[in-house]
Amino acid sequence: MEFSSKLLEKAVNEMAQLPGIGKRTALRLVLHLLKQPVEQTQFLSQALTTMREEIKFCKSCHNISDVEVCEICNNSARNHKIICVVEDVRDVMAIENTNQFKGIYHVLGGKISPIDGVGPSQLTINSLVEKVKTGTIEELIFALSSTMEGDTTNFYIYKQIKECEIKTSTIARGIAVGDELEYADEVTLGRSILHRVPFELSINKS
């Protein structure tokens, strides 16, 4: 791609670093910004910079938060004995949208995936296991997507906490294998949380 301006080229190249944004799309977005008032670009870049610099992770559930302990963990009306284990903030948002879950979450920050070089130590598994070992938790609900990585991660955690006398369940699979949780519709997802099945049954089946 030949550019008539170095400034334009630099902006397009930066934009094209984002996933799913090719050079053509990047150019379209940059040209769009050029047509808008200069404030719009300032608001955008400022929002991104502030978000990147000031974002926090809840020290209890590891969800993205503006404060040390997130609103969900801080809410005494929620059941702190039931933890729903999810991959990232998108899953928390999807499950919260269903209005069917009143427990708390634990955000792993990814799934175990040797191909992508993600091992258990890069995720927040240890802090989850420690939480379970305090003896205050009654149930863990595994709500990772049913991909091979999701299953591997569930099983890894299950092995660590098997000795603790707690209930483990997995969300019922109204969601097709391989579907990412964030794309499931609210009704299906809500139902699958209500009709969760004991984790042991899910491993015997596969």
The residues binding Zn ion (CB under 5 A) are 58, 60-61, 63, 70, 73
Neighbour-count burial for 49-63, b at 16+ CB within 10 Å, e otherwise: eeeeeeeebbebbbb
26/58 with CB nearer Zn ion = 58
Copy the structure tokens of residue 97: 């949208």
CB of 131 to Zn ion, least distance (A): 11
Chain centroid, CA 128 distance in Å: 15
Q: Give the CB-side neighbour count of residue 77, counting CA atoms within 13 A.
A: 2
73/123 with CB nearer Zn ion = 73
CB of 60 to Zn ion, least distance (A): 5
73/94 with CB nearer Zn ion = 73
77/115 with CB nearer Zn ion = 77
Copy the structure tokens of residue 190: 């809500």
Tell me the helices (H) and strands (E) count for the chain, helix number first.
9, 7
> Are 144 and 157 spatial neighbours (Cβ–Cβ below 8 Å)?
no
27/61 with CB nearer Zn ion = 61
CB of 57 to Zn ion, least distance (A): 9
Nearest to 168 by CA among 61, 88, 82, 60: 82
Give the Cα separation of 121 and 93 in Å (integer). Answer: 25
CB of 59 to Zn ion, least distance (A): 8
CB of 80 to Zn ion, least distance (A): 10
